[in-house]
């Protein structure tokens, strides 16, 4: 079993509070987040973009390994994930993650590429943890 960790600190409460988020690896270290970075596009991060980055990277790696397992050895993949945060009663809910994939893999037919990509979308660990609709749009060539 692999265990990774992240941590968050929030000083103050509500809209006036200021948070900082860090990751075990140190890639993020006391990066600011809060109401203004989440809803008003101020500099800093927010949970949704972190989930989007995690989903895009997890899916792309899963697809890379699936393509290699299918016998392909050369190509490139680029994925963007857009995570939607919507009002849900008195709170909010992440309702979807839309993956947009652009890829080129030597010697593969488009139908096989799309099939393997769909399997990777369903099988990547981040897709499995999200309780939201997940779409995939592919660009091949």
Query: If the chain, 141 residues long, is cut into consecutive pieces of 10 residues, what is the mean pLDDT of each piece?
Result: 93 94 95 93 93 97 97 95 95 94 94 96 93 86 75
Residue 72: per-residue pLDDT: 95
What does pLDDT average to over the chain? Answer: 94
Residue 41: per-residue pLDDT: 86
Residue 32: per-residue pLDDT: 95
Task: Report whether 13 contacts 31 (CB < 8 A).
Answer: no
Whole-angstrom distance, CA of residue 133 vs CA of residue 81: 12
């Amino acid at each position: 079993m692999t265990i990774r960790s992240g941590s968050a600190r929030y000083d103050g409460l509500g809209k006036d509070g200021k948070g900082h988020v860090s990751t075990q690896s140190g890639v993020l270290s006391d990066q600011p987040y809060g109401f203004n970075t989440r809803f008003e596009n101020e500099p800093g991060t927010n949970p949704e973009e972190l989930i989007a980055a995690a989903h895009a990277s997890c899916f792309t790696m899963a697809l890379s390994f699936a393509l290699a397992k299918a016998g392909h050895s050369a190509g490139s993949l680029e994925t963007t994930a857009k995570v939607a945060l919507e009002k849900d009663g008195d709170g909010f809910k992440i309702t979807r993650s839309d993956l947009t994939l652009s890829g080129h893999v030597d010697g593969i037919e488009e139908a096989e590429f799309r099939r393997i990509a769909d399997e990777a979308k369903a099988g990547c660990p981040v897709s499995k943890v999200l309780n939201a609709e997940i779409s995939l749009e592919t660009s091949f060539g």
